[in-house]
Amino acid sequence: MDDESLESNECNDENSSTVPPLSTLPVDVKVDKVIQDAIRLIVKEQLSKESADTDIDAMIATCAEFMKSFIIMGYDFDDNAIAPIFYAKTDLEADALSHYMQQYFVSSMKHGG
């Protein structure tokens, strides 16, 4: 296969809805395809992460309108634990929030047992 047919094949891959199986492609094109697929996946994951970060920032801003300090813990819709979000503007608020959280867990342990 010459360079012109490889280039036209690459253009067809981008514009067509079906992509030929890797086993039918020349080695150079296979490597290019694997690299392109990896880059697409990384970009897709990054965009998804940026969207999730934007959603979290919006949630924090909304909560901050109604509470001086807070902690958000839980699971996303895919049952993955989210990293706890600890929001306090000052050391005093952070200390008070930590103290309140300790009281809450100790109280729930007493009543749950």
One domain for residues 53 and 14 = yes
Looking at the predicted structure, is the pLDDT value of residue 36 above 60? Answer: yes
**Interatomic CA distance for residues 26 and 66, integer angstroms:** 60
One domain for residues 16 and 53 = yes
Is there a contact between 50 and 58 (Cβ–Cβ < 8 Å)? no
Please, what sign has the CA dihedral across residues 92, 98, 102, 105? positive
**Interatomic CA distance for residues 6 and 9, integer angstroms:** 5
Mean pLDDT of the chain: 77
One domain for residues 78 and 28 = no
**Interatomic CA distance for residues 83 and 34, integer angstroms:** 32
One domain for residues 47 and 94 = no
One domain for residues 90 and 112 = yes
One domain for residues 95 and 113 = yes
Number of domains in the chain: 2
53-96 residue pLDDT tens:
788 888 889 899 899 999 988 888 889 898 889 999 999 999 99
Is there a contact between 66 and 84 (Cβ–Cβ < 8 Å)? no
One domain for residues 62 and 80 = no
- Distance between terminal CA atoms of the chain? 74
Cα→Cα distances 100→8, 70, 109, 111, Å: 66, 10, 14, 17
Beta bridge partners of 86: 71
One domain for residues 11 and 32 = yes
Beta bridge partners of 71: 86
pLDDT value at residue 13: 45
Domain assignment of residue 113, given as a range:
69-113
Mean pLDDT in residue range 19-31: 68
The more confident residue out of 96 and 10 is 96
One domain for residues 61 and 80 = no
One domain for residues 74 and 61 = no
Tell me the whole-structure pTM to 2 decimals.
0.51
